[in-house]
Structure 1
């Protein structure tokens, strides 16, 4: 059964160059990651025909975040998910996998060179079918969703 959870927006979910980079404790707040992910999915049409990659660099909270992405993607009817072995996918490998497998995008959990850990940084990079970052118009659409989100699945 798919549950719909009521939520309220966070004011700090504006994407940077390739995604959202925040302190780990910020991302750990109730509904924070869920809101951001649902906001992305809200901007993508025909999710029942889409396939995405999921993985990360293994930093603190990687496994929990992957499970959250899987649950929200499934609840939104995403057709297929590719998950890195043990949840591990580097940013360059993620781009390659998206292109090689003709995926519609991917989520790579990495704050790049920034230190990780519970007191470090956590990043959610959203890549499109090009294997690279989304266009400014797509980032703007995601931002608009984050500012008005009322529920996630």
Structure 2
């Protein structure tokens, strides 16, 4: 009887340890995201200075390459942030609805906010595949019992 209790206690401790590790990893990723966001803010401030300087001197060509370079850097950093946010979702066992951007658990088959289906269509079974006849002339899928192609009228032999 005490064996079952000890097993449950060990299992609980293991689960708590895993959750703590996930939390630590998520916090590390959040820290990286904050660093990236600070870099973006600094870059935006510098871009603003360059644009205003160009305006004052009526010479936008002078700083154009530096401005575009900074903008490309910001775009790259934003992509990095998206990847880090995706890692957090993976660690939390979550996914984002492509229709409404709501966060759902990875096992969810339908979005609870908009009803989007996360189900992936299964490939046809061998029986279903055998029930389909492909036309060699145009590639149209036809019923296995068809004598003529519905797409081009080709006669099946």
TM-score with structure 1 setting the length:
0.16
Comparing both structures, which one devotes a greater share of its residues to helix? 2
Task: Return the index of the structure with the highest Cα Rg.
Answer: 2
Comparing both structures, which one devotes a greater share of its residues to strand? 1
Q: Which has the higher contact order (CA 8 A, sep 6+)?
A: 1
TM-score with structure 2 setting the length:
0.16
